[in-house]
Chain A
Amino acid sequence: MRRFFMGILTALVLMAGNAAAEGWNDTLAAARGQTVYFNAWGGSTKANAYIQWAAGQVKARHGIELRHVKVTDIAETVSRILAEKTAGRSEGGSVDLLWINGENFAAMKAHGLLYGPFTDRLPGFALVDTVNKPTIVDFTVPVEGMEAPWGMARFVFLHDTAVLPDPPRNIDALLAWAKANPGRFTYPQPPHFLGSTFLKQALHALAADKAALMAPATEGTFAIVTAPLWPWLDALHAVSWRGGRAFPSSGPEQRRLLADGEVDLSMAFSTLEAASAIEEGQLPKTARVYALDGGTIGNANFLAIPYNARARAAALVVIDFLLSPEAQARKQDARHWGSDTVLDLDRLSPDQRALFDAVPKHPAAPAAGSLGPALPEPHPSWMERIEAEWQRRYSRG
Chain B
Amino acid sequence: MIAALRAARWALAGLPRPSVGLGLFPAVTVVVFLGPILVGLVGTLLPSFGILPALGGTEPTLKPWRDLLAAPGLTASIRLTLITGVAATLMSVALAFGIAAAWHGSRWFAVLRGVLPPLLAVPHAAFAIGFAFLVAPSGWIVRLLSPWATGWTRPPDIALVQDPWGIAYTLALVCKEVPFLVLAIAAALGQTGADGLLRAARSLGYGPVAAWVKVVLPLVYRQVRLPVLAVLAYSLSAVEPALVLAPTLPPPLTPLVLRWFADPDLALRFQAAAGAVLQSGLVGGAILLWLGGERAVALIGRRWACAGGRGGSGWGLRAVTAAGMALAVLAVAGSIAVLALWALARGWRFADPLPAGWTLDTLAAAWPGLAGPALNTLLIGAAAVGVGLVLVAGCLENGRRLPAALAGRALWLVYLPLLVPSVGFLFGIQVVLVAAGLDGRWPALVWAHLLYVLPYMFLALADPWRALDERYERSARALGAGPWRSFLRVRVPLLLRPLATAAAIGFSVSVAQYLPTLFAGSGRVATLTTEAVVLASGADRRVTAVYAFAQALLPLLAFAAAVGVPAWMHRRRRGMRTG
Q: Which residues of A are at the interface with B, using a C-beta cutoff of 8 A?
A: 37, 39, 41-45, 48, 67, 69-73, 75-80, 82-89, 94, 102-104, 106-107, 111, 182-183, 189, 191, 241-243, 245-247, 249-250, 252-253, 255-257, 259-262, 280-282, 284, 384, 391-392, 394-397
Contacts and interface: CB of A to CB of B under 8 A. Distances in A.
- By Cβ-Cβ distance, the 7 closest A-B pairs, closest first, are A397-B76, A43-B538, A252-B539, A103-B264, A183-B157, A395-B73, A260-B138
A107 B265 contact: yes
Contacts, number: 179
A247 B249 contact: yes
A132 B247 CA distance: 43
Contacts of A245: 159, 164, 247, 249
A182 B154 CA distance: 13
A86 B262 contact: no
Nearest to B52: A86
6 contacts: A83-B430, A86-B53, A86-B54, A102-B264, A242-B157, A243-B157
A111 to B, nearest CB: 6
Contact of A43 (B138, B162, B349, B534): B534
B137 interface: yes
B347 A189 contact: no
Given A37-B524, A75-B263, A76-B523, A189 B248 contact: yes
A382 to B, nearest CB: 14
Interface string B55-81: 100000000000000011101110110
B431 interface: yes
Contact of B55 (A70, A102, A111, A242): A111
A174 B154 CA distance: 21
Nearest to A73: B262
A70 B434 contact: no
A78 B346 CA distance: 37
B248 A260 contact: no
A39 B52 CA distance: 24
A36 to B, nearest CB: 12
B440 A75 contact: no
Given A42-B538, A107-B265, A262-B154, 5 more contacts: A39-B523, A67-B524, A94-B523, A253-B539, A255-B539
Contact of B435 (A78, A87, A257, A280): A87
Contacts of A86: 52-54, 431, 434
Contacts of B77: 397
B522 interface: yes
B137 A397 contact: no
Interface in B376-396: none
B54 A82 contact: yes
Interface in B522-579: 522-524, 526, 530-531, 533-543
Contacts of B541: 256
Contacts of A80: 430, 522-523
A45 B543 contact: yes
A280 B162 CA distance: 27
Contact of A191 (B263, B366, B439): B263
Contact of A397 (B155, B250, B265): B250
A257 B157 CA distance: 11
A69 B138 contact: no
A43 B539 contact: yes
B434 A69 contact: no
Contact of B250 (A77, A281, A395): A395
A266 to B, nearest CB: 10
Given A245-B249, A252-B538, A397-B249, A78 B264 contact: yes
A70 B529 CA distance: 12
A394 B251 CA distance: 12
Contacts of A94: 434, 439-440, 522-524
A18 to B, nearest CB: 39
A86 B75 CA distance: 31
B312 interface: no
A79 B265 contact: no
B270 to A, nearest CB: 12
B339 to A, nearest CB: 15
A83 B434 contact: yes
Contact of A261 (B72, B138, B266, B430): B138
Given A69-B524, A111-B266, A191-B263, A249 B248 contact: yes
Residue among B76, B79, B365, B537 with most chain A CB within 10 A = B537
A394 B263 CA distance: 18
Nearest to A240: B157
Contact of B72 (A45, A262, A391): A391
Contacts of A106: 264
B301 to A, nearest CB: 35
Interface in B73-111: 73, 75-77, 79-80
Contacts of A284: 349
B127 interface: no
Interface string B19-61: 0000000000000000000000000000000001111000000
Residue among B73, B264, B439, B533 with most chain A CB within 10 A = B264
Nearest to B524: A69
A104 B266 CA distance: 9
A58 B44 CA distance: 40
B369 interface: yes
B244 to A, nearest CB: 9
Interface in B409-459: 427, 430-432, 434-435, 437, 439-440
A151 to B, nearest CB: 17
Interface in B290-304: none
B221 interface: no
Contact of B265 (A45, A255, A384): A384
Nearest to A75: B262
B182 interface: no
A282 B532 CA distance: 18
B518 interface: yes
A42 B288 CA distance: 41
Contacts of B231: none
B261 interface: yes
A39 B159 CA distance: 35
A43 B537 contact: yes
Contacts of B347: 281
Contacts of B80: 397
A75 B247 CA distance: 22
